[in-house]
Structures are given as C-alpha cells and as structure tokens.
Amino acid sequence: MVSGCAQGGDGSDVPPAAGQQQAKADRQRAKADRQRAKERHAAKLRAAHKARVAAAKRWGLKKVPLLPPRPPAGKPEITTRKGFEVDGHDGLPPVFTTVPTKQKVVFLTIDDGAEKDPAFLRMMSELKVPYTAFLSGFLVKDDYGYFEKMQTGGVVLNNHTLRHPYLPGLSYARQKREICGMQDMIEKRYGKRPTLFRPPFGSYNEDTLHAARSCGIKYAPLWNEEVFVDRWEYREWDREIHPGDIVLSHFRGRAHWKGTMPDMVRRFLNKVTAEGYAVARLEDYL
Ligand SMILES: [Zn+2]
C-alpha cells in the first residue's frame, strides 16, 4: 500500500527522502538569512539615527530633524495657483507655491548663488536635509566647483536665469536668452538640463512661461514662505506653514544678512521640526 505520510503504518520512523531533507535545510537557511538581514537593517537604522542625533547636536539644532515619509506612489497633480495664471496658461509650466499633499512635509529651495559657504554644504550633507537650488549664471560662474559638490551630494541644480533680470520688462527674445541660456549653461557645466525654473523676484508674464517651455522647463515653482537668518516671512494671512509648502531662502552670508547660511538653516529646521514637519525633496513630488 502506498502512503503519503512519512510515518509508516507500523509506527516505525521512515527517514525522509534526501530531497525532502534538502528542502527543509534550504527553508531553515532562508529563514536564518532573513533574520540576519532584518538585524543588519535594524543596526543600520540605529547607526543612521545615532549619526543624525550627533549631527543635529554638532550643528546646534534644538531637535533632530524628522525623516520625511516615503513620497506618494502617484505624483500629485500640480496646477497653477489661483490668481497666478497668465493668459492661455493651459499647457504652459504650472506656477505654484505649495505641492498638494496631506503629508507633513515642506520643501526647501535656495536661490541665486552669491554665497559659497563650505560649512553649508557640510551641514546639509551631515544632516541629510534635501533642498533644491535655483541658480543665476552670473553668480555661479566664478566658482562652478562649489555647485558641482552640491550636485554630487544629490541636490538638483535648477534655472534662475543668466543675469537675474526683471523678466516682464524684457522682450520675448531677451527673456528666452536669459532662460534658455541658463539651461545651456547648466547642461554644459553640470551635464543635466533643468526642468524647474524660478523667475527672479517671482515675476513673470506669458512670454516668460512660453520661453521657459521652449527649452525644456516643466514647472515654475514659487514659494509660500521665505526664511532669513533672523526671521520668517509668509505669503498667507495665517502666517503658518502648511503641508507641501515651498520655502524660499538664498545663498547669502554676512555680506547680505546678519549671519551665515548655517544660521539660516538652523532657523528653518528649528521651526519646521518643532511643528512636526519633515523636509522632503521637491523633485520626488513632481
Ligand atoms: Zn533670485
């Protein structure tokens, strides 16, 4: 009689076939591997947290910055903020100040490029706080290497024109030279053509967005708050930060304001962390 059981009918143990023994050993090994991987992952998380605590202390933060949540699987739909449209805006890069999300995240964007403080690069990479740079050519070209280090650290370098003019005062052709010339400069120097463009002073017209679109720009993010070394400024009447807000600051130092880039970052992080916000990467949401 053929029995499917390992146990013989007379109660004596029938040794499992070699194949079965092998399968059992494989399962045990796989289980041990999974356990070890889990322990390694937990140890890595503990080490990363320890490093973040140490970095926060080293840079004088009141609290350890919060880790951003995983970005949403489906990208949010970015539309132009009400009142910020130009005539015939459909199909032009959207102009927005907040990314629609319920996650408690804000996005840090830093403009122009005048101050090239090595301490700022160290601080941001040690704290692992993401940000996006909007660069003006005339401020970048005396030290391309500074922004190359930034890019190597994972920061996306975006377009803020060649010479930082008030764009609505220029013809379409001159606006195009300012915007598309900067596209070419960033691509030539840094190997990547930006898809984000921020008009200087946040000022633009229909020509600006047509010119930007013509050379590869997909989005025109503005900002909802601005942070300085000594204060915050708000676009909204409630003077609050909101989920998905884009925060503006500048590459500035003691020549422009009463403090350094790290002083500005401290002011920024102390507030957003205290209010339960994490800093996320703008490009992950676009
Ligand atoms: Zn600017």
- Pair (121, 253) in one structural domain: yes
Output the pLDDT for position 18: 74
**Based on the domain organization, do 53 and 81 belong to the same domain?**
no
93 domain-assigned: yes
In the predicted model, what is the mean pLDDT of residues 76-99?
Answer: 96
* Distance from C-alpha of 151 to C-alpha of 190, rounded to nearest angstrom: 8
Ligand 1 mean position to 130 CA, how many Å? Answer: 19
Residue 270 Cα to ligand 1 middle (Å): 24
100: CATH: 3.20.20.370
- Inside any domain, residue 66: no
pLDDT band at 15 (very low <50, low <70, confident <90, very high): low
Q: Is the pLDDT of residue 147 over 80?
A: yes
Are 181 and 259 in a shared domain? yes
How far CA 218 is from CA of 159, 166, 214, 243, 247, in Å, comes to: 11, 21, 10, 22, 19
Confidence at residue 196, expressed as pLDDT on a 0 to 100 scale:
98
Domain extent for 52:
16-58
Distance 135 CA to ligand 1 centre (A): 8
Do 117 and 96 reside in the same domain of the chain? yes
Instruction: State whether ipTM is beyond 0.90.
Output: yes
The answer to whether residue 1 sits within a structural domain is no
Same domain, yes or no: 39 and 155: no
Are residues 37 and 102 both part of a single domain? no
Does residue 13 have a pLDDT over 70? no
Rounded distance between C-alpha atoms, residue 224 and residue 235, angstroms: 5
* High-pLDDT (> 70) share of the chain, %: 94
| Average pLDDT, integer, range 114-143 | 96
Is residue 206 one of the residues assigned to a domain? yes
- Examine the domain organization and report whether 50 and 137 are in the same domain: no
Over the chain, what is the mean pLDDT? 93
Residue 82 to residue 100: CA distance in whole angstroms: 13
* Residue-wise pLDDT tens digits, 47-60: 989 999 999 999 99
Q: Note the pLDDT of residue 21.
A: 85
> So what's the pLDDT on residue 5?
45
**Residue 177, domain member (yes or no):** yes
Q: In angstroms, what is the span from residue 113 Cα to ligand 1's centroid? A: 9
Is residue 272, in this structure, part of any structural domain at all?
Answer: yes
Residue pLDDT, tens place only, 170-211: 999 999 999 999 999 999 999 999 999 999 999 999 999 999
The proportion of the chain whose per-residue pLDDT surpasses 90, expressed as a percent, equals 88
Question: Structural domain tally of the chain?
Answer: 2
Please give the distance, rounded to the nearest whole angstrom, from the Cα atom of residue 40 to the centre of ligand 1: 45
Residues 90 and 49 in one domain: no
Residue 2 domain-assigned?
A: no
Summarised one tens digit per residue, pLDDT across range 271-286 is 999 999 999 999 999 9
Within 8 A by CB and 6+ apart from 186, the residues are 135, 157, 158, 159, 192, 193, 194
268 and 215 housed in the same domain: yes
pLDDT at 207: 97
Whether residues 88 and 45 fall in one domain: no
pLDDT at residue 11 in the model: 46
pLDDT of residue 162 exceeding 80: yes
How far does the centroid of ligand 1 lie from the alpha carbon of residue 128, in Å? 24
- Are 54 and 90 contained in the same domain? no
- pLDDT tens for 208-254 read 999 999 999 999 999 999 999 999 999 999 999 999 999 999 999 99
Distance from the CA of 271 to the center of ligand 1, in angstroms? Answer: 23
Domain match, 133 and 53 both: no
Measure 254 CA to ligand 1 centroid, in angstroms. Answer: 17
82 domain residue, yes or no: yes
**How many Å lie between the centroid of ligand 1 and the Cα of residue 97?**
15
Quote the ligand 1 centre to 228 CA distance (angstroms). Answer: 14
- Residue 77 scores a pLDDT above 60: yes
DSSP code at position 277: P
pLDDT of 66 strictly over 90: yes
